[in-house]
């Protein structure tokens, strides 16, 4: 990789999102049939995994800064996220409602730009039927979100790239942002 390349990292969010916080409690629904010992073991294992991913995220950002690599890292962003309380830097921007750019979920999302600045565009595409977490398929593994919930729509990906990476105006681009992001 060179400084001319752009890395877009969709870092695993299952240990940082607000829903993950519930899995650090003996009262979590997924633990209802377990003994206190089993619940404790599950919580400690989840804590170790979160620590590993947190360390990887910090290392990735540090390497990009030190080597002058352009990087954009994405992760969920709402009141209870782990990164909001514990990360080494604030996000460069937060997209508070991804549906406005063509996604299926509102899903507030933070973007951390390293050695790059976002362009300022706003492509309004609010044409999807809203989906909710409870309306998606469950994950095959307890404690993880489903692939359906994790994916972004192709429209959102295109609009995000045009609005914040390449600054390309599209048919529905607004000249100025109607809200603060």
Q: What is the count of structural domains for the chain?
A: 1
Please check whether residue 179 lies inside any domain of the structure: no
Please check whether residue 180 lies inside any domain of the structure: no
Distance CA 74, CA 181 (A): 14
Per-residue pLDDT averaged across 164-170, rounded? 87
Please check whether residue 84 lies inside any domain of the structure: yes
- Is the model more confident about 118 or about 84? 118
The pTM assigned to this predicted structure is: 0.82
Beta strands 173-174; 109-114: pairing state:
unpaired
pLDDT interval class at 107 (50, 70, 90):
confident
Q: Two tokens at 28?
A: 């979590």
Give 141-164 pLDDT, tens digit per residue.
544 555 666 678 899 999 999 999
- What is the pLDDT at residue 93? 93
Beta-bridge mates of residue 95: 109
The region of weakest confidence among 64-68, 78-82, 168-172 is 168-172
Please check whether residue 121 lies inside any domain of the structure: yes
Q: Two tokens at 35?
A: 């003994």
Range of the domain at 68: 6-174
Please check whether residue 1 lies inside any domain of the structure: no
Please check whether residue 138 lies inside any domain of the structure: yes
174 — phi, psi (to 5°)?
Answer: -95, 140
Please check whether residue 90 lies inside any domain of the structure: yes
- The percentage of the chain sitting over the pLDDT mark of 90, rounded to a whole number, equals 50
Give 26-77 pLDDT, tens digit per residue.
998 889 999 999 999 999 999 999 999 999 999 999 999 999 999 999 998 8
- What is the pLDDT at residue 165? 93
Nearest to 152 by CA among 87, 102, 112, 115: 102
Please check whether residue 181 lies inside any domain of the structure: no
Distance CA 2, CA 25 (A): 43
């Amino acid at each position: 990789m060179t400084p001319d390349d752009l890395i877009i990292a969709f870092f695993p969010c299952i240990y940082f999102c607000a829903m993950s916080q519930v899995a650090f409690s003996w009262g979590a629904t997924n633990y209802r049939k377990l003994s206190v010992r089993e619940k404790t073991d599950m919580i400690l294992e989840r804590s170790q995994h979160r620590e590993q991913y947190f360390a990887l995220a910090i290392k990735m950002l540090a390497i990009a800064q030190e080597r002058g690599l352009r990087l954009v890292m994405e992760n969920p962003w709402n009141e209870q996220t782990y990164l909001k309380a514990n990360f080494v830097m604030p996000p460069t921007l937060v997209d508070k409602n991804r549906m406005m750019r063509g996604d299926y979920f509102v899903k507030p999302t933070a973007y951390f730009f390293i050695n790059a600045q976002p362009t300022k565009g706003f492509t309004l595409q609010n044409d999807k039927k809203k989906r909710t977490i409870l309306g998606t398929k469950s994950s095959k593994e307890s404690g993880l979100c489903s692939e359906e919930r994790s994916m972004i729509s192709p429209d959102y990906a295109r609009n995000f790239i045009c609005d914040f990476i390449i600054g390309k105006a599209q048919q529905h681009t607004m000249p100025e942002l109607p809200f603060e992001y």
